[in-house]
Copies of this chain bind each other. A is one copy, B any other.
């Protein structure tokens, strides 16, 4: 009897993880908790699986008499405009959410958390190994996200040290792809929806800030292997991402070439936008050997454009 709880399962990454969990023959029950703040019910196609149920609720408020053998906590906005608009709610979803969910973990169960490369802040070390302590301004406009992710890591590693809780923590680097909200607000999805609507493609700052774009299918494959498939016994934190570093302007130009009707517009830089971001994948290569991001950003963008084209036609736009 394997009972799994997935918080944030209607979100971009969470819904893809739900699909993978449903491939498991040993899954008996998957409870998805989501308040549909940034998640969308239609993302959760896994809901057609009779083992899956959806509880529409804040993760902080979730209560159950049952315990879960595996808990996946992905309930958090991940896009700056979203978390910067409701920073306290962001901290609460992450930190209070984790404290609450830990109470629902069965004895010997495993708690999996998707942390972020944002724990490195604006890094002065590149690529970033997991041991790098980061450069986050804990009073800055991105701090609700960065610091609540750091705080959850602290909670989990301390729970492991003091209570022996089994944990698995990943730090995800700039994931993009299908099931992003049209109004998500991050670079790739922004550029695509702008281009599809014939609007200017807005680049913040000079666009020379670099990111490591990981396509969703590659990323969830890594999650699946690390969290359950490969039987990895390591708490992390584990960098997961693409170590091909690409500038924001390069992506904008690529999309612009697909949609020459749009023009690139340069807007003022976003405050404290990290100048670079690239995962050191040594640990990843050791723990899930052979895995790497296979989908280039070019191929990923093409797939995402196809998806958004369908999405925007059926009118899910904001």
Binding site for B on A (CB under 8 A): 84-88, 91-92, 95-96, 99, 102, 119, 121, 133-141, 143-144, 146-148, 150-151, 153-155, 157-159, 161-162, 169, 237
Contacts and interface: CB of A to CB of B under 8 A. Distances in A.
Contacts of A91: 95, 99, 151, 154-155
A29 B141 CA distance: 35
B159 A88 contact: yes
Contact of A136 (B102, B133, B148, B237): B133
A150 B237 CA distance: 19
A141 B148 CA distance: 17
Contacts of A140: 157
B141 A158 contact: yes
Contacts of A147: 147, 150-151, 153-154
Contacts of A138: 119, 133-134, 150-151, 153-154, 157
Contacts of A137: 133
Contacts of A96: 95-96, 99
Given A88-B99, A92-B99, 11 more contacts: A84-B162, A87-B154, A87-B155, A87-B158, A91-B154, A95-B95, A133-B136, A140-B157, A141-B161, A147-B147, A147-B151
A144 B139 contact: no
A155 B144 CA distance: 6
Contacts of A85: 162
